[in-house]
């Protein structure tokens, strides 16, 4: 853990075996570490089944390079926890491209599929397919 306060404002909820993240503002390494702690507490509720994350990003959301590095360092841990998919819905196209690239880099080398979507409905349907494939 770092000595800095978490920056960013991310709410987390669950829908079935999907963790829903709603980030706002700039997320730093400490915010990613905080979220990883939340994930570690919620995933056991899925009983060992695969799970997914749905990230619904506000137009003002960005991840610092340090936050991306923290996510990349944790990607193998999330893979072992059976994360099957990470779907990103961004309200702004530029934000979506930047965050999508960050997620793809962070999850490179894992079995977690990463998708970028224009709507929650598209993302939710894609997640359902991924979870069905991974059990």
- Nearest Cα residue to 134 out of 87, 84, 86: 84
CA–CA gap between residue 108 and residue 86 (Å, rounded): 12
Expressed as residue numbers, the domain containing 15 is 9-134
Residue 26: phi and psi, rounded to 5, are -85, 125
What CATH code is carried by the domain that includes residue 76?
Answer: 3.30.750.24
Residues 6+ apart with CB under 8 A from 28: 4, 6, 7, 8, 64, 66, 67
pTM for the model stands at: 0.92
In a domain, 125, yes or no: yes
What does the pLDDT look like over 65-123, one tens digit per residue? 999 999 999 999 999 999 999 999 998 888 899 999 999 999 999 999 999 999 999 99
In a domain, 2, yes or no: no
In a domain, 13, yes or no: yes
pLDDT at residue 4 tops 60: no
pLDDT at 8: 72
Q: How many distinct structural domains can be found in the chain?
A: 1
In a domain, 111, yes or no: yes
- Nearest Cα residue to 62 out of 71, 52, 53: 71
With contact defined as beta carbons under 8 Å apart, do 39 and 17 qualify? no
In a domain, 64, yes or no: yes
What does the pLDDT look like over 26-59, one tens digit per residue? 899 999 999 999 999 999 999 999 999 999 999 8
């Amino acid at each position: 853990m770092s000595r800095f306060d978490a920056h960013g404002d991310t709410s987390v909820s669950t829908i079935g075996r999907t963790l829903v993240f709603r980030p706002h503002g700039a997320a730093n390494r400490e915010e990613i570490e905080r979220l990883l702690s939340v994930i570690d507490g919620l995933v056991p509720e899925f009983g060992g089944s695969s799970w997914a994350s749905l990230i619904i990003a506000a137009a003002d959301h960005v991840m610092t390079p340090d936050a991306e590095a923290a996510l990349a360092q944790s990607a193998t841990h999330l893979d072992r926890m059976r994360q099957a998919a990470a779907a990103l819905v961004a309200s702004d196209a530029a934000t979506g491209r930047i965050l999508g690239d960050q997620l793809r880099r962070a999850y490179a080398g894992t079995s977690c599929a990463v998708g970028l979507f224009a709507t929650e409905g598209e993302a939710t349907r894609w997640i359902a397919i991924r979870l069905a494939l991974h059990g």
